């Protein structure tokens, strides 16, 4: 990647730029005042490394924590990353207030509509901050991009950036990728008219828009047709991010994973089957109904008592938001109530872990008999794709038809309506009783479908399509 730091940016030299709220690195100030850096993974990281060190790539992201802001102040940034020191209060309004409490809710259809949403003066105040935050990204990208460079903007946090950037730099090739679903038009137009129009104008500033599935792309096109007079010059493409088989197979055989398998097997108990789920505790993941479905299974089919354990990993997410904290507490409460209702001295029906531990997640993937992936709505859901790749002996997948992954995996999964707890209990039974050779065969096919577009190719495919789109009419 290019050698650029926040204090001494090489002017307008980047040829490939990525923009996202969360960047590939985060900082903490240690007790002795020094900074420690933590690097993340994911599709964009693999994609950018795949284009090689000489590609003049730059990742523009936001400072998210005090440690990040301190790193920017000290000019301690990584090569190839420009972190924007967005003030903490502006970021909180844009990220917590608008991105996660409005746009995420709209695209995942999470509102309890008798009382919410209510777009009032406070919403307008936060929206102005969201515009400010998007404008900071557009300015930074405009400063850094070489003539005709390709810019790949990520997600609902930055949906105004393409339009803003086009105003500043009409020479650029601008792409935007949505990692979430897109709302159906009737839901999207809950937003105030001027705001929905502004979002669509922002998105349609891009040359190319990418979505994870045809379903989300169609929903966007419908919004554009009904509320913005069509797509104009913007093209729409579908890129179904897949699992990284090479990385997962290697990582899941590391010694820390093997250790955790032993610990987990002891928690599950000899001869018992394991129904595994692994999620960030987001409102869309449907963990609570999953627990109710498991309880319904134990109730309707008592033969499973003592013979199965539900291993649920519910990792913290967006804990600044009260509604997320409440949901996390509800997951814990329902898990406890299933355990006190059905547990026996030698059997804990639900094993719930809330501390993020990737090695333990991989251990659970390896030994799962059944994976439960039942979101009420999900852009893709990579857990559904990772489990079949890693599974030791084959794993039956119970999959929500509302997950993006359903488009590619639906045929070999046992699919469920995520709101139907009784049907989900039946699906769990069917999964638990699937003959082992069928389970192994299906897992093979699921793994092949899940790895059809690995992260590096996913990124390169978008980059190629953006460059091939050609310059648009001014
Ligand atoms: O799953 C959708 C998504 O927007 C991802 O693209 C992104 O990694 C994540 O959610 C954002 O999460 P966070 O709020 O923790 O940054």
- Judged against a pLDDT cut of 50, whether residue 4 lies above it is answered with no
In the predicted model, what is the mean pLDDT of residues 216-227? 98
Fold of 245-451: Rossmann fold (3.40.50)
- Judged against a pLDDT cut of 60, whether residue 8 lies above it is answered with no
Helix (H, G, I), strand (E, B) or coil at 370: strand
pLDDT tier, 473 (very low <50, low <70, confident <90, very high otherwise)? low
DSSP string, 328-360: HHHHHHHHHHHHHHH-BTTB-SEEEE-S--HHH
Q: Are the C-beta atoms of residues 378 and 182 closer than 8 Å to each other?
A: no
- Does the CB atom of residue 280 touch ligand 1 within 6 A? no
Domain boundaries, the chain: 14-241+456-468, 245-451
Q: What is the pLDDT of residues 198-211, one digit of tens each?
A: 999 999 999 999 99
pLDDT tier, 11 (very low <50, low <70, confident <90, very high otherwise)? low
- Judged against a pLDDT cut of 50, whether residue 6 lies above it is answered with no
- Does the CB atom of residue 318 touch ligand 1 within 6 A? yes
Query: Beta-carbon neighbour count of residue 330 at 10 Å?
Result: 14
Cα separation, 440 vs 447, in Å, equals: 10
- Homologous superfamily of the 14-241+456-468 domain (CATH): Glycogen Phosphorylase B; (3.40.50.2000)
For ligand 1, atom 11, the nearest C-alpha belongs to: 22
Question: pTM value?
Answer: 0.95
What average pLDDT does the structure give for the chain?
95
pLDDT of amino acid 471: 65
Q: Which residues pair with 414 in a beta bridge?
A: 398
Residue 423 tokens, joined: 């049907």
CA–centroid distance, 344 to ligand 1, in Å, is: 39
Q: What is the pLDDT of residues 76-97, one digit of tens each?
A: 888 899 999 999 999 999 999 9
pLDDT of amino acid 23: 94
Helix (H, G, I), strand (E, B) or coil at 29: strand
pLDDT above 70: percentage of residues in the chain: 97
Phi and psi, residue 387, nearest 5°:
-55, -50
CA–centroid distance, 137 to ligand 1, in Å, is: 17
pLDDT above 90: percentage of residues in the chain: 92
pLDDT of amino acid 145: 97
Cα separation, 431 vs 231, in Å, equals: 43
In the predicted model, what is the mean pLDDT of residues 403-425? 98
Helix (H, G, I), strand (E, B) or coil at 273: strand
In the predicted model, what is the mean pLDDT of residues 14-18? 96
CB burial class (10 A; 0-12, 13-18, 19+) of residue 262?
exposed
For ligand 1, atom 9, the nearest C-alpha belongs to: 179
CA–centroid distance, 168 to ligand 1, in Å, is: 27
Residue 337 tokens, joined: 């109530």
If we measure between CA atoms, which residue out of 49, 123, 103, 234 comes closest to residue 18?
Answer: 49
Same CATH fold, 245-451 and 14-241+456-468? yes
Which residue of 86, 178, 316, 379 sits with most ligand 1 atoms within 8 Å of its CB, as the best mutation to test the pocket? 379
Cα separation, 134 vs 315, in Å, equals: 29
CA–centroid distance, 155 to ligand 1, in Å, is: 8
pLDDT tier, 41 (very low <50, low <70, confident <90, very high otherwise)? confident
């Amino acid at each position: 990647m290019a050698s650029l730091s926040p204090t001494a940016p090489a002017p307008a030299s980047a040829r490939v730029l990525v923009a996202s709220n969360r960047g590939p690195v985060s900082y903490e100030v240690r007790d002795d005042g020094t900074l420690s850096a933590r690097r993340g993974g994911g599709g964009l990281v693999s994609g950018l490394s795949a284009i090689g060190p000489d590609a003049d790539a730059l990742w523009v992201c936001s400072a998210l924590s005090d440690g990040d802001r301190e790193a920017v102040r000290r000019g301690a940034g990584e090569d190839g990353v420009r972190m924007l020191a967005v003030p903490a209060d502006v970021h909180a309004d844009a990220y917590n207030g608008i991105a996660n409490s409005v746009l995420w809710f709209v695209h995942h259809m999470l509102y309890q509509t008798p009382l919410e949403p209510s777009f009032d003066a406070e919403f307008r105040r936060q929206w102005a901050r969201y515009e400010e935050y998007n404008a900071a990204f557009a300015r930074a990208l405009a400063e850094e991009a070489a003539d005709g460079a390709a810019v790949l903007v990520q997600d609902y946090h930055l949906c105004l950036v393409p339009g803003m950037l086009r105003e500043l730099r009409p020479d650029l090739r601008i792409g935007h990728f949505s990692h979430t679903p897109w709302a159906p038009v009737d839901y999207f137009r809950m937003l105030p008219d001027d705001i929905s129009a502004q979002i669509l104008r922002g998105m349609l500033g891009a040359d190319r828009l990418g979505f994870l599935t045809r379903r989300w792309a169609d929903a966007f096109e419908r919004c554009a047709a009904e509320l913005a007079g069509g797509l104009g010059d913007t093209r729409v493409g579908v890129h179904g991010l897949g699992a990284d088989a090479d990385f997962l197979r290697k990582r899941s055989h590391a010694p820390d994973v093997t250790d955790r398998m032993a610990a987990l097997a002891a928690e599950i108990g000899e001869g018992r089957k394991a129904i595994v789920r692994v999620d960030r505790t987001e409102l869309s993941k449907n963990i609570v109904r999953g627990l109710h479905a498991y309880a319904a299974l134990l109730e309707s089919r008592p033969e499973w008592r003592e013979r199965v354990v539900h291993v649920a990993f519910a990792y913290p997410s967006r804990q600044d938001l009260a509604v997320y904290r409440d949901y996390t507490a509800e997951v814990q409460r329902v898990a406890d109530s299933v355990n006190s209702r059905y547990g026996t001295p030698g059997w804990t029906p639900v094993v719930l872990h809330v501390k993020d531990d990737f090695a333990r997640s991989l251990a659970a993937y390896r030994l799962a008999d059944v994976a439960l992936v039942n979101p009420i709505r999900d852009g893709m859901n990579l857990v559904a794709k990772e489990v079949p790749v890693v599974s030791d002996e084959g794993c039956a997948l119970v999959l929500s038809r509302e997950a993006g992954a359903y488009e590619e995996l639906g045929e070999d999964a046992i699919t469920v309506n995520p709101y139907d707890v009784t049907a989900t209990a039946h699906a769990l039974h069917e999964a638990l009783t699937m003959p082992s050779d069928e389970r192994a065969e299906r897992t093979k096919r699921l793994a092949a479908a899940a790895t059809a577009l690995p992260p590096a190719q996913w990124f390169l495919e978008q980059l190629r399509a953006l460059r091939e789109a050609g310059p648009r009419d001014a």
